[in-house]
Amino acid sequence: MRSHKKKPVTSVPNVTVPSHIVFYPILVLTLLLWVLYRQLFTFPVWFDEILGKAIFFGLPVWLYITVAGSHNITDSLAPRKFQTGMLLGLALGGVFGFTTSLMAVLSGSGQVETALLFTSQRFWVEFVLALFTAFWETILFFSFALTVIQEKYRDWTDWQQVFLGAGIFLIFHIPNMFLRFSGTEILVQMMLLFLFALGQGFLFVGRRNAYALILAHAIWGMVLLTHTW
């Protein structure tokens, strides 16, 4: 990976690239509508993650692809990438789980014992919701936003492109953080989310496989949830 030299050509597949004039207006409008939705309505979590994000995250991307004709956005979801993406996402999720469990044990906040998580109905309900969350967020922040960033700023380095993508990811999550946390917890959560987005961004730039990001994201979320049960 060349992090200090400018790339003459982006890694996005096609040569003909749209100008993406409405990229930022679409992002800003999506953010405003999402924040208003979360402020004005209180629906169950399953509704927000399955239907809410389908409307406010998925629909703008579909409209953008239709209007701008940027079909590179859907390349990361090509069926040929499914098996490879699932295996890679499972491997990364396993690393997340092992590392988090080890840190919990070493910090004294956890202990090694048998946990029958896979027999818990709650576990599978939460995992399905985590998959929906991961799917819609991967579509918006990586398959869409990071692909457009790569095309729009072709002379930028990978680091610059991924930092911008991670910044967009963080901005969308800040309102929810202020609703759920307070004080220094907000800063800690912001740092964790930004680092997570950086990792997902570099994975996307390197592999351009949304399936890997979706599964890794879902497992990462379940690991965090499991250690707070």
The C-alpha atoms of residue 81 and residue 127 are separated, in whole angstroms, by: 22
The C-alpha atoms of residue 91 and residue 85 are separated, in whole angstroms, by: 10
What single letter denotes the amino acid at residue 179?
Answer: L
Torsion angle, alpha carbons of 156, 162, 163, 168, to 10 = 120
Q: Taking Cα atoms as reference points, which of 141, 118, 121 lies closest to residue 219?
A: 118
Q: Which run of H or of E encompasses 30?
A: helix 23-40
Residues 67-99 have pLDDT tens digits of 877 778 999 999 999 999 999 999 988 887 777
**Is the pLDDT at 207 greater than 70, yes or no?**
yes
Mean pLDDT in residue range 110-124: 67
- Residue 63 DSSP SS3: helix
Q: Which pair of tokens denotes residue 113?
A: 């014992």
The C-alpha atoms of residue 133 and residue 13 are separated, in whole angstroms, by: 27
Mean pLDDT in residue range 178-187: 84
pTM of the model: 0.85
Q: Which pair of tokens denotes residue 153?
A: 């700023």
* Rounded percentage of the chain residues whose pLDDT exceeds 90: 59
Residues 136-182 have pLDDT tens digits of 999 999 999 999 999 999 999 999 999 999 999 999 999 888 877 88
Supply the mean pLDDT for the chain.
85
